[in-house]
Chain A
């Protein structure tokens, strides 16, 4: 079963705007990862944040993690039409290697 939920389920913005997606999870974790999926294809790893980290940046991506609230957010700055995709958070618990995915956010960036 899925670890948690993401909101919003769908987000539509204009090119150049920022997009923020939120993820909540249920159990303690080792790390949390964000993936992108284009139109029912394979997933692409975007960024990983460990449980002892609070914020991480990678290019136009900024991810935060609040373990007390069991939540994470992904911010994409200056969005582009090519960012249109589904975004999933995935958690890793303890020493397990499996990913437990959230429900995903469908992002549409309008040119």
Chain B
């Protein structure tokens, strides 16, 4: 099976812009979670989607949003970018009933 894929791998944006990141889970996995990794805050949970519904949300402002499509692919959107949004954004998928999460390689977002 192909692993979790994320696009783009690298992105440079300017403050105030918005960005959309994409994640394709492992085939058959319906759960997709997003995490943000920064040197200061470490790895933090953003949200989880399952069958097109947001099931869980972390403590992030409303500028961070996401969605999931019927094929389980997921996108996350960050509006009105701030310098502090510069981070590695990781997506993970999980099979039904499983506990292990499979991570993609991440999207490195730089906000200037």
Give chain A's interface residues, CB within 8 Å of chain B. 1-2, 31, 33, 35, 40-45, 48, 88, 90, 92, 96-104
Contacts and interface: CB of A to CB of B under 8 A. Distances in A.
Contact of B31 (A96, A97, A101): A97
Interface of B: 4, 31, 33, 35, 41-45, 48, 55-56, 58-59, 88, 90, 92, 94, 99-106, 108
B45 A41 contact: no
Contact of A42 (B44, B55, B106): B106
Given A40-B88, A42-B4, A42-B90, A101 B56 contact: no
B58 A103 contact: no
A101 B36 CA distance: 11
B42 A98 contact: no
The secondary-structure label for the interface of chain B is strand
A16 to B, nearest CB: 29
Contacts of B99: 31, 33, 48, 92
The secondary-structure label for the interface of chain A is strand
Given A2-B43, A40-B88, A43-B90, 12 more contacts: A1-B41, A42-B103, A43-B103, A45-B103, A92-B99, A96-B56, A98-B45, A99-B33, A99-B35, A101-B42, A101-B43, A104-B43
